[in-house]
Chain A
Amino acid sequence: MAILVSLIIGGIFILSIGKNPFEIYALLFKGTFGTSYDIGQVLFKATPLIFTGLSVAFAFRAGLFNIGAEGQLYMGAMLATLAGIWIPARFPSLPSLIVVTVCIFAGFIGGGCWGIIPGWLKARFGVHEVINTIMMNFIAYGLTNYLVLEVFSVPETIHTPEIGLSARIPRFDALLGIFRGSPVNISLLIAISFAVLAWVILTRTRLGYEIRAVGLNPKAAEYAGIPVAKTMTLAFFIAGGLAGVAGSNFVQGFKYYYEDGFAAGAGFMGIAVALVARNNPMGILFSALLFGTLSQGGLAINTQVPKELVEILEAVVILAMVVMTELFNRWIIKQKNLS
């Protein structure tokens, strides 16, 4: 229903530039689910959004608004890249499984440490996390930019040297021969398992209970004996770590190097992904898929409509989705009250 409404609103925009909405939508559908390659592309684009969506949702459950997933992603990806270059060079005989795991762990630590700073500032000084995380984004961007261009400075490129062979995450294409040509890789499975893990932590553990309690009412949580400051900091560490692993999809699974500015807003998109899924880790899998479809579909129709309109369409779909889910929920509550 939500999708239908957003398609209609989008159709009006397409009409306004003199194109036939049906043709454009057909193109959009063909470009996202037409061939196994296209499906692979959708999954590839959804993968980092699962991570950043989880990151935002996790912090949100603790009552914290994480605008810093973008910066955490950059820092995590950078640390994972450093590990991916250094470890295979230093220990060439180490099996790939271990190296890949260490790199992903490095990504988690990199993003986590970047998340812990605003978390601590919030818990210790009460400085609002929105301003903290935005500033941390700028610092992360400048820092990684400096590392890529000045420290590594591979001539005539804007990326680092390649990571070692053993640090690379295999693609489905190479492993199973599915999604031929698309870089979709095992990171997708890692993302799904992280989503399950996040769900388990939030709903089935003491830590998750404390996080949710702090998120619902920090004062009440404190009366109940929950260490609020510690819980907030820890929640931000995990949130940052989740965003930090998002880079593995591009760095370890696709290009095998860190490219300056590669994520292009995946961290910010994570906010929308989390909100559409109402911060439910399982729901995030689906909303990330939707956003991945939009992103891939946008590129597919870009030959017919200008980039600006593609961006408008994406935004319209997101808005319609959010409004419709809200209306649907109210309707359900109303029905419940009636019965």
Chain B
Amino acid sequence: MAGQLFKVILLILVTAILGGCSGQNPSSTIDNKEKIQVGLVFDIGGLGDKSFNDQAYTGLKKAAAEYSLEMGKDIEYLEPAEAADRETALRQMASKKKALIFGIGFIFSEDVNRVAKDFPETKFACVDYVSPANEADIPPNVVGLKYKEEEGAFLVGALASLVTKTNKIGFVGGMQSPLIKKFEAGYKAGAHYANPKCVVIANYAGMTPDAFKNPSKGKELALSIYDKGADIIFHASGSTGLGVFEAARDKKKLAIGVDADQYDEAPGYILTSMIKKVDVSVFEEVKAVHDNNFANGIRVFDLASGGIDYIYNDKNKNLITEDTHQKIEAIRQKIINGEIKVPSSLD
């Protein structure tokens, strides 16, 4: 018995050592001192959410390619499992002397502020940052990345109001919250701007974070909105929106995606998607630190900077006439010039 156990252990040790040798990476001998060190902490939910977190990861990969950084060495990321681990993970990254550390999601705002004070040499960036009541309280080594979702929502609202044949369009939100109300406000304003006769029917999936992952509720809401005569629905509701797409397919109506290009979720039924380029902002921050251009405070990504946009490409071209596309592009220019003021709340 003992002899057999010994053999097994020996076998494992040998394979481990061999594996260790073959795993030796030749590039590790290259001097890494000049390379920028980046850390990133994902939101609970982590990698593989097909939206927010995955987009941040795409941004990291782009930075890795641009500055020939090695994933798992120069760039490291963590996926905390519980609330207390967010701060722990940020500290762990900071103690590794990373130059720049990302927190992905509004929930990191307070954690980033706290850890940043203890590590003044390290730069921190937080996606969807919620700034302290007084903006002067933002630590000098923290940059908050914010997005003008309402501008993108305004454009897709205008587009929907021009494409609709019934003069009725819909909106499905996830959790009722200031963030999602921002989408609704921009969408409604855009629709009324481009087509004053257009009516918007809005509904929300719930009051809790679960409302962002409830596709069956999304389908139910979307079906009732389509039944009221709407022929296009914009969703800002995470994976709840997958139910909206299903309803669109069932009813042969149109839907509008959010955050990333969601055309492939229901090909032929997605009019466009309003995109929020988290990947671009992650990359831009790495670039800023790399070029010694880091600036603290709030950094806004909007239509003008390209951080917010809508999809118009070969896939959905046949759903949008050239004339409509021109009108939307004209509106985009007006928003960028400041001729149109987009509201960020409903009142």
Contacts and interface: CB of A to CB of B under 8 A. Distances in A.
Interface of A: 8, 11-12, 15, 18-23, 31, 35, 37, 41, 44-45, 145, 149-150, 155-158, 181, 183, 250, 254-255, 259-265, 296, 298-300, 302-304, 306-307, 311
Contacts of A306: 47, 79
Given A155-B178, A264-B81, A37 B46 contact: no
Contacts, number: 88
A22 B16 contact: yes
Interface in B71-85: 72, 76-85
B130 A156 contact: yes
Nearest to A45: B84
B20 A265 contact: no
B79 A302 contact: yes
A161 B61 CA distance: 38
B177 interface: yes
B288 interface: no
Contacts of B46: 307
Among the interface residues A21, A45, A263, which one has the most CB atoms of the partner chain B within 10 A? A21
12 contacts: A8-B8, A15-B15, A149-B208, A157-B110, A250-B84, A255-B83, A259-B83, A262-B82, A262-B83, A299-B88, A303-B72, A307-B47
Contact of A23 (B20, B81, B89): B20
Interface residues of B, number: 38
Given A157-B107, A255-B84, 18 more contacts: A12-B12, A15-B19, A20-B20, A20-B23, A37-B95, A45-B84, A150-B207, A158-B209, A264-B82, A265-B82, A298-B81, A299-B80, A299-B81, A299-B89, A302-B78, A302-B79, A306-B79, A307-B79
Contact of B23 (A18, A262, A263): A18
B81 A15 contact: no
Interface string B171-204: 0000001110000000000000000000000000
Contact of A299 (B16, B23, B78, B110): B78
Nearest to B85: A299
Nearest to A150: B207
A304 B72 contact: yes
B312 interface: no
B76 A303 contact: yes
Contacts of A158: 107, 209
